C-alpha cells in the first residue's frame, strides 16, 4: 500500500460534503435504530455529566452505548446488543472480562472486607508477584491509579536528584495531572492547556520521539531530574518508539545523572509477563504501573530502585538525615484491587496469556489491513504486541505499517486523527456489533478467538463499504 496511486476513496470524507453527509446519516441511523435505550440514557446523562461522560476518550457523537454486562471478549448494552469488545477496560483487561479466578478472588475478599484502613497480607503477596515478574521492582509503593503513579514518580525523581526539569516525549500520554496535560494531542509547543500553571509547564521539556540527539541536548543542561517515556510509543504505540531508542535513553540518562522512568501503565504485564522492559532488555530506575497490575479494578504502583523508593521510607530518610517524601491515598493497595491484581498476575506468570493476546492482535492487524487493501483505502493498520491502530491517513501519504513502526512517520501526522472519520468508523463498528477504542484501534485480550476475529473483520468491511458509498 505504498503507492500513492492506490490511495483513493474516503480520505476526503470530511471534505466531500455530500457523500460524507450521506454516509454519516446512514451509519448514524443504523446505530440509532439499534440503541434507543442508550439514546435515552445519553440524553439524561447530558443533564448530569459534562458531555454526558466520565472520561474524554469515551466521547462519541451523537452518543455512545450504555453497557450492562460483559463476559470474556464480549459485552452487552442496555438494548440487548452484543459487542466484540476492544475497549478492554482501557487496556486493564488482558484476560478479558470477569476471568473466573479474578471473580472468585474478589468475591472472597468482598465478604472479608473492602477497606481495613491499615496493612493487610494481600499487599505483600501482590508486591512480591510484581517483583518476581519485574526484577527492577526492588521496592513497590501502591497508588490508586496510573495518573497518581506518574505524579509520584516525578516527585521521587525530583527529590532524589535535587533537579526540577522533566523530559517528556511529544505525543506520549502519562495520565491527566498538570505535568502531563499538554503536548499529548495538542499544545505541542509546550504551552499549558487551560487550568495548568505556565510555571509548571515550564518545568517540562518536550522532546521529539526517537531523537536521541535532541534528548542529549536537554540532558546536557544538567537540571533534568528524569526522562519519562511510554516504552513502545505514545498512546500505546500510536506514535511508535523504535526499540533501540529506549536502550539509548538508558545509557544517556545514566551518563547525565537523570533517572529513567518507564511508564508501563499499559505495557506492564501485557507486552510480556515482565512488561516492555523485559522485551527491550532495559532496566529503568522507576516504573509506573496501573491497569493490568490491579486486575481490572482501580489501582497502580510506582516500583523501582530501592534507594529512590527509600525516599518514602521513614527510617531510611531519618538515617540519611533528610526530610522524607510524603505520600498518602485512601485507596492505595485497596484489598479488592490487591485480590484482583494477584489473581491476574498469577495467570500472567503461569500461562501464555500475553503471547495469546499478542498473537491475536497480529492476526487481527493482518486481516484488517487486507480489508483496507481490498477496498483500496489509504488507511494503514499497524501496531505491536496486543494492540492495533487504524491510521485514517487524511493526507493520503504513501506510507506502510513498516514505515510507521520504524518511526519514519512524524508523531503529529499520526496523532492528527480525522475526527469525523474516526467517529463514523466507531459508530459503524458499533452498529455492526464491535466496539473499538477511540484511537481508533484497541487492545486485544488473551480470550479473543477466531469467531471474534471473523466478526470484527465483517464489521470492519461493512463499515468501510457503508462509508465508501
The residue nearest ligand PLP at its CB is 146
- 152 with 145: CB under 8 angstroms? no
The residue (of 54 and 315) whose beta carbon lies closer to ligand PLP is 54
The residue (of 383 and 428) whose beta carbon lies closer to ligand PLP is 383
The alpha carbon of residue 224 and the mean position of all alpha carbons in its chain are separated, in whole angstroms, by 26
Is residue 239 close enough to count as binding ligand PLP by CB under 6 A? Answer: no
Query: At closest approach, how far in Å is the CB of 383 from ligand PLP?
Result: 14
Site string for ligand PLP, 245-284 (x = CB under 6 A): ------------------x-xx------------------
Cα(311)–Cα(322) distance, integer angstroms: 9
Phi and psi angles of residue 312, each rounded to the nearest 5 degrees, phi first? -90, -10
The residue (of 10 and 266) whose beta carbon lies closer to ligand PLP is 266
Residues in 79-98 at the binding interface with ligand PLP, rule: CB under 6 A: 90
Neighbours of 101 (CB within 10 A): 15
Site string for ligand PLP, 314-353 (x = CB under 6 A): ----------------------------------------
Cα(123)–Cα(142) distance, integer angstroms: 9
The residue (of 181 and 290) whose beta carbon lies closer to ligand PLP is 290
The residue (of 64 and 235) whose beta carbon lies closer to ligand PLP is 235
Residues in 285-314 at the binding interface with ligand PLP, rule: CB under 6 A: 290, 300
The residue (of 145 and 334) whose beta carbon lies closer to ligand PLP is 145
Site string for ligand PLP, 170-209 (x = CB under 6 A): ---xxx----------------------------------
- # of chain residues touching ligand PLP (CB under 6 A): 14
Residue 389 CB partners (closer than 8 Å, separation 6+):
237, 238, 381, 382, 383, 414, 439, 440, 441
- 340 with 347: CB under 8 angstroms? no
Is residue 145 close enough to count as binding ligand PLP by CB under 6 A? Answer: yes
**Cα R_g (the chain), whole angstroms:** 22
Pairing status of strand 74-77 against strand 67-71: antiparallel
Residue 40 CB partners (closer than 8 Å, separation 6+):
none
Omega before residue 330 within 30° of 0, cis? no
Query: At closest approach, how far in Å is the CB of 275 from ligand PLP?
Result: 12
Q: Is the dihedral of CA 318, 331, 232, 230 positive or negative?
A: negative
Residues of this chain that bind ligand PLP (CB under 6 A): 90, 145-147, 150, 173-175, 230, 263, 265-266, 290, 300
Amino acid at each position: 500500500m505504498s503507492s500513492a496511486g492506490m490511495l483513493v476513496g474516503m480520505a476526503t470524507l470530511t471534505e466531500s460534503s455530500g457523500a460524507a453527509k450521506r454516509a454519516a446519516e446512514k451509519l448514524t441511523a443504523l446505530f440509532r435504530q439499534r440503541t434507543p435505550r442508550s439514546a435515552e440514557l445519553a440524553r439524561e446523562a447530558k443533564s448530569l455529566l459534562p458531555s454526558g461522560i466520565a472520561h474524554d476518550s469515551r466521547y462519541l457523537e451523537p452518543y455512545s452505548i450504555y453497557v450492562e454486562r460483559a463476559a470474556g471478549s464480549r459485552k452487552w448494552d442496555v438494548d440487548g446488543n452484543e459487542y466484540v469488545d476492544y475497549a478492554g477496560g482501557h487496556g486493564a483487561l488482558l484476560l478479558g472480562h470477569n476471568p473466573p479466578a479474578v471473580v472468585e478472588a474478589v468475591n472472597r475478599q468482598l465478604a472479608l472486607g473492602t477497606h481495613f484502613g491499615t496493612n493487610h497480607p494481600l499487599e505483600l503477596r501482590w508486591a512480591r508477584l510484581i517483583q518476581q515478574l519485574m526484577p527492577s521492582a526492588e521496592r513497590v509503593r501502591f497508588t490508586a491509579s496510573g495518573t497518581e503513579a506518574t505524579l509520584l514518580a516525578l516527585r521521587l525523581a525530583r527529590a532524589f536528584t535535587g533537579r526540577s526539569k522533566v523530559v517528556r516525549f511529544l505525543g506520549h500520554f502519562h495520565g491527566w495531572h498538570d505535568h502531563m496535560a499538554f503536548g499529548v494531542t495538542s499544545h505541542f509547543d509546550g504551552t499549558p492547556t487551560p487550568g495548568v500553571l505556565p510555571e509548571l509547564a515550564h518545568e517540562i521539556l518536550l522532546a521529539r520521539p526517537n531523537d536521541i540527539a535532541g534528548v542529549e541536548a536537554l540532558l546536557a543542561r544538567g537540571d533534568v531530574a528524569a526522562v519519562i517515556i511510554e516504552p513502545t510509543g505514545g498512546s500505546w504505540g500510536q506514535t511508535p518508539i523504535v526499540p533501540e531508542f529506549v536502550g539509548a535513553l538508558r545509557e544517556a540518562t545514566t551518563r547525565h545523572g537523570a533517572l529513567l522512568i518507564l511508564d508501563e501503565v499499559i505495557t506492564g504485564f501485557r507486552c510480556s509477563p515482565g512488561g516492555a522492559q523485559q522485551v527491550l532488555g532495559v532496566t529503568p530506575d522507576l516504573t509506573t504501573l496501573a491497569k493490568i497490575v490491579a486486575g481490572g479494578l482501580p489501582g497502580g504502583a510506582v516500583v523501582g530502585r530501592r534507594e529512590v523508593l527509600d525516599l518514602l521510607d521513614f527510617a531510611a530518610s531519618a538515617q540519611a538525615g533528610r526530610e522524607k517524601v510524603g505520600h498518602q491515598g485512601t485507596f492505595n493497595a485497596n484489598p479488592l484491587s490487591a485480590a484482583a491484581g494477584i489473581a491476574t498476575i498469577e495467570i500472567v506468570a503461569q500461562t501464555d496469556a500475553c503471547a495469546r493476546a499478542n498473537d491475536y492482535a497480529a492476526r487481527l492487524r493482518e486481516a484488517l489491513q487486507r480489508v483496507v487493501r481490498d477496498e483500496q483505502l489509504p488507511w494503514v493498520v499497524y501496531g505491536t504486541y496486543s494492540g492495533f491502530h487504524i491510521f485514517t491517513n487524511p493526507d493520503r501519504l504513501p506510507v506502510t505499517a513498516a514505515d510507521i513502526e520504524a518511526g519514519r512517520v512524524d508523531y503529529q501526522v499520526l496523532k492528527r486523527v480525522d475526527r469525523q472519520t474516526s467517529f463514523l468508523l466507531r459508530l459503524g463498528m458499533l452498529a455492526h456489533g464491535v466496539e473499538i477504542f477511540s484511537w481508533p484501534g484497541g487492545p486485544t485480550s488473551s480470550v479473543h478467538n477466531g469467531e471474534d476475529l471473523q466478526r470484527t473483520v465483517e464489521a470492519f468491511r461493512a463499515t468501510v463499504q457503508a462509508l465508501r458509498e
